[in-house]
């Protein structure tokens, strides 16, 4: 019986050492991944009362310093499952460095009858990251401004939680 206890104690010690090793490896992985840089800008604004009024035009400013890479620009929207439409119409205004303010009216598809919401979701909240142009492009160095405006017929537009802009470096 003492032999079995010795074997059991040794096995328990090995399991404990392996668990510590696993824990240290996991901790090391977390530290390494948390120290890497993320090559993007993302800013969203929360909409009061989960309603996007046409008079609420969020503005986003960012600076580009690296002109050697391509960038992809996204429209970001978060809404609840109770959002009444499968699309959204938005005026987006953009101003490149040393240029005038440009305006484009765009329709963004948020859902289809076949697939449902075209977004990532958790519980009853869905987030869309929709490309503003099909291809990535080079951006000039300097400060950029984006303004988003809801131009849907329903005003205020209910069940919209956040809207914003995301800029990613393409690797």
Predicted confidence (pLDDT) per residue in 90-117, tens digit: 999 999 999 999 999 999 999 999 988 8
DSSP line for 118-157:
SSEEETTEEEEEEESSSS-B---SEEEEEEEEE--SSSSE
Bridge partners (DSSP) listed for residue 108: 88
Q: Which residue has the higher pLDDT, 30 or 164?
A: 164
Topology (CATH) of 40-170: Jelly Rolls (2.60.120)
* Least confident span in 15-19, 88-92, 131-135, 164-168: 15-19
pTM of the model: 0.74
């Amino acid at each position: 019986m003492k032999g079995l206890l010795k074997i059991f104690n040794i096995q328990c010690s090995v399991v404990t050492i392996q668990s510590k090793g696993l824990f240290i490896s996991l901790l090391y992985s977390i530290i390494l991944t948390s120290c890497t840089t993320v090559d993007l800008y993302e800013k969203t604004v929360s909409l009061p009362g989960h309603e996007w009024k046409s008079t609420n035009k969020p503005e986003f400013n960012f600076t580009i310093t690296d002109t050697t890479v391509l960038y992809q620009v996204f429209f970001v929207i978060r809404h609840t499952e109770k959002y009444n439409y499968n699309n959204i119409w938005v005026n987006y205004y953009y101003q490149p460095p040393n240029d005038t303010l440009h305006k484009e009216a765009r329709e963004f598809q948020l859902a289809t009858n076949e697939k449902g919401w075209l977004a990532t979701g958790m519980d009853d909240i869905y987030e869309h990251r929709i490309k503003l142009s099909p291809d990535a492009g080079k951006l000039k160095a300097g400060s950029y401004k984006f303004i988003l405006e809801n131009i849907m017929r329903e005003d205020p537009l209910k069940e919209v939680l956040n809207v914003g802009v995301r800029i990613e470096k393409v690797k």
